[in-house]
Every structure is written in structure tokens, then in C-alpha cells.
């Protein structure tokens, strides 16, 4: 068999059209670390495309911890977590995560995507019902597909619609699980967990949260959305997430009761059949936790920078939707305009993310900015100047 299937051909035609029209601005070559600025195709740009909100991936203390780990453990560990892939560093990080979320235990995955995939697979089976916010991350949807469970959704952050869904599914299956993002990556708004949990408790529905964009960011000390709402950790049974935002690293985790974590350790296929996180990555994440606790000024700087950017964007008259977090969308509502604006911003030395369908619904296309604690005010001012110039050119303001 040769050639592409019809759907593949259609996809490649779309990519070909983007490249042919000069609008393809994805996977551009970078030649620097993920700091407040990045070298993009040989040009230094202010980095707003990253989700490394605290900027820890290039912090000297993190780099030093990685050097020490490489010297002791080498580049990788050469096996799955169930084989030789569980070092003393892995166990130490699991203890740190469990304590962060007030759980008995935690487990590490090769990525945040795999953490959601493997945890939902472990929790659900055919006949069970997963209840999802309709803006949940794709990893959650794919986890439900892997589990083979039924999937029902409610309107984004709409508590009346959730209450109705809980009522309608009360007899739909032997087990129901609600899964939500703590912070929604495309919109930057926060799940109404303080309202969701009481509704689910009353309906006898288990709750799982994806802390990808909230660990290290939300809450007084960066412990996540539960701390943000000052909620008892026991009110949420399962917490998953990734280190790609908080630490600017790679890898994922789930924190829960000890028995369930031990079950995942032996039966979660995305974990059992994947190589373990390299110890050097684990060392970097542990060092990032140390920084979060020992240098709280990074979290303070992050939110100061977020406030500065919101003020600047709002003063320009740009639509940032309902975002209240370092993940800030600039709503555009037109695919071609988003792609052209993205390339124009790159010329102005501002590197951000163009988000179009199917990543978001049609007419909801946007540019997405990720604010970092390591951005200086000069970086932010340069970005706002570039955004203002490009927004005016494209008649967005």
C-alpha cells in the first residue's frame, strides 16, 4: 500500500496551501534555550510562545542540578518505570508531588499527555461515564477513548449545564468521573472548582483535575488550583499534570491514594510500555520545586508581569476573552488574519502562538501569549509596542 488516505491528503493540501502562501509559521527553528528571549531563525525575539511561566528551565540552580544528575546517572535510565526506571530521584519527586496535593502517593509518566491518558484508562472501563467540560484538553478526550468509556460534556464552566448533565446521567453507568482542566490552555480562564466539587459530591461523582497550567502558578505559594480556592485536597480524588509549564521540562504525574497509584504502576499501559523519565529531568523538576519554595519572588514577578500585560492589552482595546492567568489570548476571529499577524509580530521581534481551527472553534481564532516571570519590563514593553503596531495594521484596533 502506498500514498496517503483521503483525510491525510486533505490535511497535506492545507499545509501545502499555507506554505505556498507564505503563512506557515509553525515549528520554526530555534537556537537558544527557553528564556525570556529566544533565537528564532537567527533573530532574537521576546518569548511569548512558551508555557514555561516561571522561567525555571534556564535558571542556574536548575542547570547545576542537571549537571550533577548527568554525572551520576548519565543521559537516561534505559527502561520502563516498572523495570529499572525507578531511581531514588524518581521516588523523591513522587513524595514531593504527593505532599503538594495532600495525597498518599504519586506516580511519574513520560509526559503530561501520557499522565492523563494512563490515569483515565486506569480509572474507567466500558460502561462508565466520563463528564467533561467541552474545552477540556485533547489528552483527556483521548484518555476516555483508550478506556472505552462513554463521554458526555457540558458547556464550558456552565454550572447550570453541569447540574443538568449530572441529573441526566444519574443512571447512565456504574461509575461517573468528572474531569476538568484547572486552567484552560486556549482561554486562560480557571475552572470553577469551588462550584464543581460540591455539585459532584452531591451527585456521588468522582473528580479529577488536570493541573498542567496551574501547578507552580495558581495559589498563594504556587501549589495549584486547590490552594487558589483554599479547598481541602481531599475533595478532589485524582490530580494529574505536567512539568512542561511549571518547570519548563517534560514529564507528567498523577497524585491520588496509595492503592490506586500502585494499580497504575502495574497496569497503566502508557506508563508500563514507555521508558522512564531521565533522572536529569527529575533532578530539574526537584530543583524547580526548591526554587518555588525558597525564592517566592519568582511567583510574585510572574503575577506582576501578568497584570502589566493585561493592563497594556486592555488599554489597546484588545479582547483577551475571560483569561485571568499567564496564558493570555488575543482574540482575532479570522484564520488568515491570525497567521499574518503572527508573522508580522515575528518581524517585530515578538514570538507567540497562532491558534486556529481545529485547535479552537471557527471564528474563535486567536494569538496566544505565555507571560513569564523572567520577562523584564523592557521585554513586555517591546512586546506591547509590537502588538499595537501589528494590531493597527490588521485593523484589530
* CATH number where 32 lies: 3.90.1150.10
Model confidence band, residue 224 (pLDDT cutoffs 50, 70, 90)? very high
Beta bridge partners of 253: 108, 241
The three grid cell numbers given for residue 260, joined into one nine-digit string? 490506586
Strands 150-154 and 129-133: parallel
Q: Is residue 348 part of a domain?
A: yes
Do 95 and 50 reside in the same domain of the chain? no
Q: What number is the average pLDDT over the span 192-209?
A: 98
Cα–Cα distance measured from residue 369 to residue 341, given in angstroms and rounded to the nearest whole number: 13
Q: What number is the average pLDDT over the span 333-349?
A: 97
Do 268 and 314 reside in the same domain of the chain? no
Cα–Cα distance measured from residue 118 to residue 99, given in angstroms and rounded to the nearest whole number: 21
Q: Is residue 8 part of a domain?
A: no
The predicted structure's pLDDT at residue 173:
81
Choose the final residue of a domain: 294, 322, 343.
Answer: 294
Q: Is residue 222 part of a domain?
A: yes
Q: Is residue 2 part of a domain?
A: no
Do 204 and 314 reside in the same domain of the chain? no
Do 166 and 68 reside in the same domain of the chain? yes
Q: What number is the average pLDDT over the span 42-64?
A: 96
Do 290 and 310 reside in the same domain of the chain? no
Show the domain range for 160. Answer: 60-294
pLDDT digits (tens, 9 = 90+) for 159-179: 999 999 999 999 988 899 999
Residue among 390, 299, 292 at smallest CA distance from 345: 390
Do 197 and 99 reside in the same domain of the chain? yes
Choose the final residue of a domain: 268, 294, 320.
Answer: 294
DSSP 3-state assignment of 187? Answer: coil
Cβ contacts of 396 within 8 Å, gap of 6 or more? 318, 330, 332, 337, 341
The predicted structure's pLDDT at residue 297:
98
Sheet containing 350-351: order of strands: 37-40, 43-47, 350-351
Residue among 262, 263, 265 at smallest CA distance from 274: 265
Q: Is residue 12 part of a domain?
A: no
**4 or 298: whose pLDDT is higher?**
298
pLDDT digits (tens, 9 = 90+) for 225-258: 999 999 999 999 999 999 999 999 999 999 999 9
In whole numbers, what is the pLDDT of the chain averaged over residues?
A: 96
CA distances from 31 to 28, 37, 39, 140, 349 (A): 10, 11, 5, 32, 15
Q: How many domains does the chain have?
A: 2
Choose the final residue of a domain: 279, 294, 309.
Answer: 294
Running DSSP on this structure, what letter comes out for residue 91? Answer: H
pLDDT digits (tens, 9 = 90+) for 286-328: 999 999 999 999 999 999 999 999 999 999 999 999 999 999 9
- Please answer whether residues 200 and 207 qualify as being in contact, where contact means their C-beta atoms are separated by less than 8 angstroms: yes
The predicted structure's pLDDT at residue 10:
86
The structure's pTM equals: 0.95
Do 271 and 130 reside in the same domain of the chain? yes
The three grid cell numbers given for residue 246, joined into one nine-digit string? 511549571
pLDDT digits (tens, 9 = 90+) for 66-102: 999 999 999 998 899 999 999 999 999 999 999 999 9
22-26, 103-107, 310-314, 376-380: least confidently modelled range: 22-26
The three grid cell numbers given for residue 172, joined into one nine-digit string? 447512565
Q: What number is the average pLDDT over the span 259-279?
A: 97
Q: Is residue 13 part of a domain?
A: no
Packing angle between helix 297-315 and helix 279-294, nearest 10 degrees?
Answer: 80
Phi, psi (degrees; rounded to nearest 5) at 353: -110, 125
The predicted structure's pLDDT at residue 1:
39
pLDDT digits (tens, 9 = 90+) for 96-137: 999 999 999 999 999 999 999 999 999 999 999 999 999 999
Model confidence band, residue 2 (pLDDT cutoffs 50, 70, 90)? low
Q: What number is the average pLDDT over the span 41-59?
A: 96
Do 357 and 302 reside in the same domain of the chain? yes
Do 155 and 230 reside in the same domain of the chain? yes
Do 241 and 256 reside in the same domain of the chain? yes
Q: What number is the average pLDDT over the span 33-45?
A: 96
Do 208 and 259 reside in the same domain of the chain? yes
Q: Is residue 51 part of a domain?
A: yes
Gyration radius of the chain over CA positions: 21
pLDDT at 55 > cutoff 60:
yes
Find the CATH number of the domain harbouring 136: 3.40.640.10
Q: Is residue 11 part of a domain?
A: no
Do 67 and 106 reside in the same domain of the chain? yes
Q: What number is the average pLDDT over the span 2-8?
A: 79
Count of beta carbons in the 10 Å neighbourhood of residue 259: 9
Model confidence band, residue 6 (pLDDT cutoffs 50, 70, 90)? confident
Amino acid at each position: 500500500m502506498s500514498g496517503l488516505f483521503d483525510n491525510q491528503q486533505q490535511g497535506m493540501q492545507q499545509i501545502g496551501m499555507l506554505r505556498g502562501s507564505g503563512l506557515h509559521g509553525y515549528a520554526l527553528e530555534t537556537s537558544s534555550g527557553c528564556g525570556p528571549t529566544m533565537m528564532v531563525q537567527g533573530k532574537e525575539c521576546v518569548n511569548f510562545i512558551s508555557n514555561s511561566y516561571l522561567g525555571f528551565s534556564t535558571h542556574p540552580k536548575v542547570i547545576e542540578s542537571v549537571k550533577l544528575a548527568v554525572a551520576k546517572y548519565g543521559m537516561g535510565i534505559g527502561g520502563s518505570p516498572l523495570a529499572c526506571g525507578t531511581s531514588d530521584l524518581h521516588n523523591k519527586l513522587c513524595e514531593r508531588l504527593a505532599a503538594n496535593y495532600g495525597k498518599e502517593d504519586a506516580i511519574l509518566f513520560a509526559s503530561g499527555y501520557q499522565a492523563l491518558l494512563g490515569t483515565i484508562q486506569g480509572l474507567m472501563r466500558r460502561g462508565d461515564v466520563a463528564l467533561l467540560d467541552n474545552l477540556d484538553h485533547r489528552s483527556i478526550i483521548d484518555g476516555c477513548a483508550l478506556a472505552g468509556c462513554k463521554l458526555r460534556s457540558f458547556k464550558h464552566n456552565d454550572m447550570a449545564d453541569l447540574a443538568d448533565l449530572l441529573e441526566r446521567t444519574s443512571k447512565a453507568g456504574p461509575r461517573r468521573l468528572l474531569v476538568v482542566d484547572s486552567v484552560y490552555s486556549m482561554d486562560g480562564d480557571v475552572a470553577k472548582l469551588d462550584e464543581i466539587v460540591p455539585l459532584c459530591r452531591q451527585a456521588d461523582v468522582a473528580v479529577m483535575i488536570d493541573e498542567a497550567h496551574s501547578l507552580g502558578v495558581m495559589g498563594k505559594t504556587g501549589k495549584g488550583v486547590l490552594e487558589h480556592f483554599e479547598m481541602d485536597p481531599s475533595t478532589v480524588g485524582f490530580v494529574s499534570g505536567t512539568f512542561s509549564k511549571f518547570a519548563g521540562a517534560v514529564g507528567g504525574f498523577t497524585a491520588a491514594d496509595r492503592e490506586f497509584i500502585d494499580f497504575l504502576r502495574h497496569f497503566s499501559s502508557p506508563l508500563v510500555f514507555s521508558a522512564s523519565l531521565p533522572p536529569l529531568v527529575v533532578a530539574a523538576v526537584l530543583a524547580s520545586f526548591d526554587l518555588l519554595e525558597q525564592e517566592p519572588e519568582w511567583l510574585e514577578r510572574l503575577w506582576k508581569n501578568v497584570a502589566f500585560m493585561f493592563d497594556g492589552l486592555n488599554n489597546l482595546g484588545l479582547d483577551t476573552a475571560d483569561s485571568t492567568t499567564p496564558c493570555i489570548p488575543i482574540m482575532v476571529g479570522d484564520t488568515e488574519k491570525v497567521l499574518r499577524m503572527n508573522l508580522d509580530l515575528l518581524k517585530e521581534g515578538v514570538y507567540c502562538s497562532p491558534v486556529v481551527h481545529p485547535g479552537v472553534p471557527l471564528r474563535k481564532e486567536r494569538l496566544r501569549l505565555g507571560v513569564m516571570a523572567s520577562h523584564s519590563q523592557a521585554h513586555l514593553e517591546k512586546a506591547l509596542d509590537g502588538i499595537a503596531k501589528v494590531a493597527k495594521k490588521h485593523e484589530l484596533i
